[in-house]
Amino acid sequence: MIEVITKYTKESVKKYYRFHMLKKRVVSKICLAILIICGFFLLFLSLFTDDSSPVIIGIASIILAASPFYFPAINTNILYKKSPAVFDTGSTIHFLEDHFSITMAGEYQSGTNDIKYEALVNVYEIRDFFYLYIQPNMAYIVDKSDFTQGSPEELSQLFAQVLPGKKFCRYKK
């Protein structure tokens, strides 16, 4: 059995939002690069014209391209203000052979959920976290520093064994 006792922090949620916005989205990354290049090109072009519209459009495209880096911070602050219980509730997660169970122990959320591995949409492993997607836009965040039994390497091996095909992806950046 592998056990993790974790509590969401602003930083862990912010990293999750950033990862979620950019994960496996090559098209998104290409669009961001094009926006940045166009923005700087328009700013450069504005040096040779009296029209201010290239400056405005250039600055707007650079701000838009930077959104994956500042939206996670904004979203995290909004979530913290609207639902502080998300951050105050601690979770104990037990990873077993065929399922994992999550026990919430907080003032606003409490109880235990058993989830079979095949019910997971995807699991991503990055340097500091595992993201267990239970829906395409919702995941449990498992901090690698919060293991009380077992290790992140053991959990990684478990996911590699029990999740079929491309449901388990490692990003070690």
Q: Range with the lowest mean pLDDT among 83-87, 93-97, 147-151, 153-157?
A: 83-87
Among residues of the chain, what percentage have pLDDT more than 70?
A: 78
| Ranges of H-type helices in the chain | 10-22, 26-45, 53-65, 67-82, 84-88, 152-162
Domain residue spans of the chain: 2-8+86-170, 17-82
For residue 170, which amino acid is it? R
- Segment holding 134, helix H or strand E: strand 129-135
The per-residue pLDDT for range 13-67, each reduced to its tens digit, is 778 877 877 665 666 677 777 877 888 887 787 777 777 777 777 777 777 777 6
The arithmetic mean of pLDDT across residues 162-168, rounded, is 86
Q: Does domain 2-8+86-170 have CATH number 1.20.1270?
A: no
